[in-house]
Amino acid sequence: MKHLSYILGVVAMLSLMPSCAKIERKDDGVEDMQICYDVIQDRSAVTKAAGVYPTGESFASYAWYLPDGMDWNSYRAYAELYIDKAEISYNSSRNSWYDQTRTYYWPNTGSLTFFSISPASVAESAELTKDDGFLISSWDVAANQDKDIMVADIQTDKNANETVGSFTGVPTIFRHKLAMIEGFTFNTFKDYAPGKSGDTYKDDDKRFFIQSIKVNNLKQEGQFVSGNAPSSTSIGQWQVSGTSAETDYTWFSEFEEVVYNSSGSEPIPANNLGGKTSILVLPQTFTNPDDADLEYEPNIEITYVTWEYTNDSGAYKSYETTARASLYSILASVGNRLDMNKKITFNITINLNSNLIIWAPDQNDWTDDDFNISI
């Protein structure tokens, strides 16, 4: 599913931005002359449920004005800023989204082209230009794990609110500009303890306990540019900073048994991310590491303990195993990269029939995406 965010918002504002040219506005107080925001679902994802923009969040919106006879694609160099970083937030008493400090109306003539970025606080680190769209010259994802950056598709040459479904306003379709590690699930290749009866096991039966899950050496600093016409096909671009520090994350650190489940894997939620339940990741392409350098390259590291029973009295011997694989190899089938608007779950299978770590990723849109792993 493309996890996209939807809101209906009416922008209520008190004044207009000063302009070099006089722009007449429809400010007679008629409700349908107010500029409204209708944040809607990307229709290519109609078979999947859409995410809802959180009512506790806000986004920043901008609009460029062009006179009659001029369109954004051909004449954007002449555009004047009409709405500058309006903060759109939810008002529960009106059940609508709008800038609660200013009022904007549609101009009598000409058209508006809209850009929006979320959350609103990211706008302080972003510059909007006619040629490049949104430019974030320096962003540290590790230091901003609470900021899920999204940019809305451009809405060009608008001169009135539009009716889309049951809502009226400027369509505002947000797309995530980061990747997210959402989860880890575990199973065993087969039931390695078939003789279990109460606390009794057969010789060579085994139990497995996850001890730690780590994501190591991620570069999380970079620059982003959206382009002057962001859309589903023009998604923008990240560039990893050459001076980016490497960040390690410990997803889980405890002692959790992996039990064979023929119907599917069991999740192990994060318990060591400072209260967070996922990891935001800077989109990037990974390079092929030398085997000797694997521990210093971006990788996933799983440490688990095996209890191997020696007889039916319950006696066992215990040993620890650490399985590590580079993100380059894990993501080989999808171009060795993590892309924007991707939400990832890693499904790990403990497989004693093989000493290899087998990664079978399927990177799709920000939804219930799984990477199947056998260790």
Residue labelled with tokens 């001890």: 211
Distance (Å, rounded) from C-alpha 290 to C-alpha 343?
28
Q: Which pLDDT tens digit goes with each residue over 56-111?
A: 889 999 999 999 999 999 999 999 999 999 998 877 787 677 888 888 899 999 99
pLDDT at 40 > cutoff 50: no
Paired residues of 258 in beta bridges: 208
Identity of the amino acid at 167: F
Task: Please give the residue that has the higher pLDDT: either 32 or 47.
Answer: 32
CA dihedral 256, 248, 291, 358 (to 10 degrees): 40
Under 8 Å between Cβ of 373 and 299: no
pLDDT band at 26, cuts 50/70/90? low
Read off the pLDDT of each residue in 152-158 and give the average, rounded to a whole number. 96
CA atoms within 13 A on the CB side of 259: 5
* 3 state SS of 294: helix
Distance (Å, rounded) from C-alpha 372 to C-alpha 314?
32
Read off the pLDDT of each residue in 159-171 and give the average, rounded to a whole number. 75
Distance (Å, rounded) from C-alpha 6 to C-alpha 11?
15
Paired residues of 207 in beta bridges: 307
* 3 state SS of 125: helix
Residue labelled with tokens 């016409």: 229
DSSP code of residue 17: -
Q: Which pLDDT tens digit goes with each residue over 331-369?
A: 888 888 899 998 888 888 888 876 544 454 444 467 444
CA dihedral 103, 105, 11, 167 (to 10 degrees): 160
